[in-house]
Amino acid sequence: MKLLGILLAAVPFAFAGIRLATTRTDARYLWMAVGSTLCAAVVLVRPGRAGPDRRRLGAAVVAASLGAAAIALVVRATAVSGESSSSG
């Protein structure tokens, strides 16, 4: 399970690396990955019971999403979902 968690945490960084390698200048995804990881880590590192429970994991997902969204606003990232750049 730890390996699966590490692999899932690495996915945003992989996409950020691909984006950065492709454009050579666009590091917005990297900053979003860092922000989301840090927010989730803050929730999961807090002292509590031995091991995360469902409530804490849910809070980490929410914190990660909010952290990524906040960073996206700061770096002016845009999401274009389902739109095509070609007409016709």
Is residue 50 scored above 80 in pLDDT?
A: no
Is residue 84 scored above 90 in pLDDT?
A: no
What pLDDT does 55 receive? 87
Is residue 78 scored above 80 in pLDDT?
A: no
Q: How far apart are CA 80 and CA 88, in angstroms?
A: 18
* Confidence tier at 64 by pLDDT (50, 70, 90): very high
Identify the CA nearest to 78 among candidates 39, 35, 28: 28
Give the model confidence (pLDDT) of 17-44 as tens digits: 999 999 999 898 999 999 999 999 998 8
Q: What is the pTM of this model?
A: 0.75
